Structure 1
Amino acid sequence: MRLVRNLIGTPEGAIGLGILVLLALVAIFAPVLSPGDPLRIAARPLLAPFTDPSFPLGTDRLGRDVLAGIIHGTRTSLAVGIAAALAAIAIGLCVGLTAGFAGGLVDEALMRVVDAFQIVPSFLLALAFVSVIGASVPVVVIAIALGAWADPARLTRAQVLSIRERDYVASARVIGMHPVEIALREILPNALPPVLALSAIIVAAAILTEAALSFLGLGDPNVVTWGSMIAEGRNVLRSSPSLSVFPGIALVVTVVAVYLFSEGLTKTIGRGRLVA
């Protein structure tokens, strides 16, 4: 795709995309890179890193392989981040497109709902939702999406309000095209690029939110996550800081890569290069 070539043409996009591709490969091939259950006890507890070739990053307090946890945690973090971003973008597009295209009372009502969700900090909303419903990966995804859909909705509405007054939209009305068809075929494709640029930021925020929830013990206990690994390591932070440092580095690298990818995508879109 031309978009990928143009994205690689920016330093931020190239670096971010390269790291994300590597992380995606690690997530996809996690069962091959680290077979078995990453939560199983594999060796003696608190094995220091770089002392045993079988466990390059050592083991935690229970004797679980730290490297296996980081590898399988990559799959959880990326899956939650991407799923939450897709859900938030889908909800935001539907609400923003409806509000901007319909106008009037529908617009006012939907925007007041958006305002209500934006008043509450997204992390507090996710925290309350998971605390009430219960901790599991689908619940965490829904909780993060509930706190993230308002920004795409407002951005989509702003784009639709600008686009719906253009000549080609007026021409579509004149020839008798159905309003739903106008919204989906004429307006939505042109309102989408800025929202796509925002999606990368939502992914990064979702990964951080999932890690924070896991750190607080509100993640799925049956799934290894970087946040739960950092939380596990804080109990022995002075004697074995690597238990928190290694998953923390993985988390930082992932979030930075997503932000770099977002910067490259924004520059590409800003130059009018969003061509499939």
Structure 2
Amino acid sequence: MTLLIRFLRSPEGVAGLVLLGLLISVALLASVFFPRDPLSIAGPALLPPFQDRAFPLGTDRLGRDVLAGLMHGARASLAVGIAATLVAMVVGALVGTIAGFAGGIVDEALMRIVDAFQIVPGFLLALAFVSVVGASLLVVILAIALGAWTGPARLARAEVLSIRERDYVAAARVIGMHPLEIAIREVLPNALPPVLALGSVIVAGAVLTEAALSFLGLGDPNLVTWGSMIAEGRNVLRTAPFLSIIPGIGLVLTVLGIYLFSEGLGEALARRRIRA
């Protein structure tokens, strides 16, 4: 029984996969349905949803199409979440593998660095980094990754500590492989599955962090994001609450889809380990 079959037997995993598939489709098709800049004025201001076929979800205070912003915002949110997670996973997995495999003073030094980063909450670290460096897409990705790499590092280290004394690692030492080559080629691939399962949680956190930064005006000003749309709607919350509610629903569905997907993936990996 493959991992995919075990995953598809999980109702939570299937539901999460469907939700994420829909959201990714929306993000990929944004430029097809709305090739114009979503920040451009498209119609009358503050048009309510379902009042005009040209603007199914209405328009904001400046007359920008809410549906266009929602679809382009999905692309921005998912791109930032996935990119920040990849950076955090790569850095964390490498640091954790080196720390766990080397041991001794190297392990102590790297873990103290991890502790130093974990002292400060990830959102505050991202907030400070963006405030100092400046708001741009790349800076936001690095800022989020800066507060998210410690989890994969600790998990990878724990896995490596249980792997490094196994027979195939000892055999690699005997045939004269360099310790760094053993760590990267032999140990790291076997320590990755739990770290990859953590990745979905990091994506959800990254999406929410990006939305919070954009809500505070620290996102990329040249991009439409769900956080910036919620912030825009805050100014007319009493008269046009849909401007904040619609992107808020998008955020909820994204995080829910990622959570359900991670639940299904975790169950599939757990069953795989039990059978192994």
The TM-score by the shorter chain falls in which range? Answer: over 0.9
Deviating more after overlay: 263-272 vs 162-171: 162-171
CA contact (8 A) 2:233 2:241 kept: yes
Match of 1:172 in 2: 172
CA contact (8 A) 1:12 1:263 kept: yes
5 Å-filtered alignment, 1:92-107, equals 92-107=92-107
CA contact (8 A) 1:6 1:273 kept: no
Over the aligned positions, Cα root-mean-square deviation in angstroms equals 1.4
* TM superposition shift of 1:191: 0.4
Q: Which runs of 5+ in 1 are unaligned?
A: none
Amino acid at match of 1:234: R
* TM superposition shift of 1:35: 2.0
Match of 1:35 in 2: 35
SS in 2 for 1:148: coil
Match of 2:261 in 1: 261
Match of 2:134 in 1: 134
In 2: Cα distance, 1:151 partner to 1:36 partner: 40
Question: Which ranges of 4 or more aligned residues in structure 1 deviate by more than 3 Å?
Answer: 1-5
Q: Which runs of 5+ in 2 are unaligned?
A: none
TM-score, length-scaled by structure 1: 0.96
Amino acid at match of 2:202: I
In 2: Cα distance, 1:17 partner to 1:89 partner: 21
Aligned residue pair count: 274
5 Å-filtered alignment, 1:84-123, equals 84-123=84-123
In 2: Cα distance, 1:24 partner to 1:56 partner: 20
SS in 2 for 1:236: coil
* TM superposition shift of 1:172: 2.1
* TM superposition shift of 1:273: 6.9
In 2: Cα distance, 1:57 partner to 1:88 partner: 36
Match of 2:199 in 1: 199
TM-score, length-scaled by structure 2: 0.96
Find out whether 1:72 has 2:72 as its counterpart: yes
* TM superposition shift of 1:143: 0.1
Percentage of pairs with the same residue: 70
Q: How has the CA–CA distance of structure 1 residues 38 and 273 changed in structure 2, closer, same or farther, with 3 Å as cutoff?
A: farther
CA contact (8 A) 2:3 2:272 kept: no
In 1: Cα distance, 2:214 partner to 2:18 partner: 27
Deviating more after overlay: 204-213 vs 27-36: 27-36
Match of 1:246 in 2: 246
Match of 1:149 in 2: 149
SS in 1 for 2:77: helix
5 Å-filtered alignment, 1:47-66, equals 47-66=47-66
CA contact (8 A) 1:3 1:273 kept: no
Deviations along 1:54-87, one digit per CA (max 9) or x if unpaired, are 1011000000000000000000000000000000
Deviating more after overlay: 3-12 vs 242-251: 3-12
* TM superposition shift of 1:174: 2.1
SS in 1 for 2:58: coil
